[in-house]
Homo-oligomer: A and B are copies of this chain.
Amino acid sequence: MATKIVIVGGGAAGMSAAAKARRTDPTLDIVVYERSGYVSYGACGFPYAIKGEIARVEDVVVRTPAQFAKQGIQAHVGHEVLAVDAAAQTLRVRELASGTECAVAWDELVLTAGGAPSRPPLPGIDLPGVFVLRTVEDALAIRNWVEQQRPAHGVIIGGGYIGLEMAEALAAHGISLTLVERLPQVVASLDPEMAAHVQTELEQQGVTVRLEQAVEGLTGDDRVRAVLVGGATIPAAIVIMAVGIRPSATLAHAAGVALGPTGAIAVDDHQRTNVPHIWAAGDVAEAHHLVTGRPAWVPLGTTANKQGRVLGENLGGGDVRFGGIVGTVVVKVFDLEAASSGLSEGQAQTEGFAVQTVSATAGSRAHYMPGHQPIHVKLVYDATTRRLLGGQLVGREGVSKRIDTIAAALHARWTVDELAELDLSYAPPFSPVWDPILVAANLAKR
């Protein structure tokens, strides 16, 4: 009988694993259970679908269950896995529409349930008009609310990536926005002086930014009407809760699967958990961080896809490893691009490095080319070994892929001096003769 693979969660990690396992071993019996109504979608596209830049929310769906069926992958949407019995190698699953429950046996179990948005127990959090953004259904609900209710005022709670992207998305609908953040800065992965550029952009685009303020509650009647923050009442006909996500690891934990120090599932470099025949990948799992040398939880679509692929190949009898992450992220905030890779100064200090930093501002193009924009660069390195620990870039163009040079340098474990030697591309429309990264690295050399 064919080996039966059961995959819990049909997001990027789960469906990458399914597709790769299928290609690697055509004899496998592959079944996916997904709680929401969709599998295999580019969740990072939701803010642009809500903004209206993408015509329909469903356009971010890569493949449907019907398309997976043609590949011999059974993807069941609307199915929630309730419990896993690791010893018996079974699980209990409920079809949400009918309420039907049944037991399913598996030979290999893949945990790719992703993460769930935090919903702090605030008064009024369940009022209509208060949203989180994680699933296609969430995105559809927000877009419908925006189009049907035409809110004049909105509040975004949380200044992370989703919060920032949603600010751009809702502002495009003419919604007057307030962004509330508990920390003294937006984008926690950036150091404060770099995050300040992002805050300035938000404010220049008309978003009111309230830092170091906690939301006390939400008020309304048949819908949300206002958000209570620091004694003030901010009118809001739409509220986005974007205070972060947590790994959906409860089911795994109950089944005896070990979680790591981050609270996500601990995996080895083959995506195996501590329990034989149980695997994990994506936002529910940790990843080896190449800068700290320790497990980290940096839930990102790229890592989910890569880990899923590695997992799938190993399921199919392969022997491949996931090399690890350096934590490269980029976010578009209105007309600004903000990117980082590796550790911020603050993170590096927390990790116990002897931190040194260098900052520079240089042009995105040659100084004589019209349209050139400043790019702010910050490099973080170890004062003793001079090893590069991280980099941050903020600017109006040329940031998103420039950060990849920092990412490569972190993979290579280069010193900041080695970074300064790179033979980077130059043409006046694309870069000054000294690329901003080289300008910063050269300053560190002194």
Contacts and interface: CB of A to CB of B under 8 A. Distances in A.
Number of copies: 2
A62 B367 CA distance: 9
Nearest to A331: B427
A407 B433 contact: no
B323 A421 contact: yes
A434 B306 CA distance: 9
Contacts of A424: 302, 328, 404, 407
A412 interface: yes
Nearest to A398: B401
Interface in A402-443: 402-405, 407-412, 414, 418, 421-431, 433-435
A69 interface: no
B425 A401 contact: yes
Contacts of A425: 328-330, 339, 341, 400-401, 403-404, 407
Interface in A7-52: 12, 42, 44-45, 48-49
B426 A411 contact: no
A53 interface: yes
A285 B328 CA distance: 38
Contacts of A369: 45, 48, 53-54
Interface residues of A, number: 65
Contact of A370 (B54, B328, B370): B54
A326 interface: yes
Q: Is the contact region of chain A dominated by helix, strand, or loop, or is it mixed?
A: loop
Nearest to A321: B421
Interface in A250-293: 290
A295 interface: no
Contact of A54 (B325, B327, B368, B411): B368
A411 B421 contact: yes
A423 B407 CA distance: 6
Q: Which of A12, A330, A408, A423 has most B Cβ within 10 Å? A: A423
14 contacts: A44-B426, A48-B428, A49-B368, A54-B369, A54-B370, A324-B421, A325-B423, A331-B427, A401-B431, A402-B404, A403-B425, A407-B425, A408-B422, A411-B422
Given A44-B427, A300-B426, 6 more contacts: A44-B366, A45-B366, A330-B425, A400-B425, A401-B431, A405-B407
Top 8 closest A-B pairs, CB basis? A400-B430, A408-B408, A323-B421, A330-B425, A412-B412, A401-B401, A59-B368, A302-B426
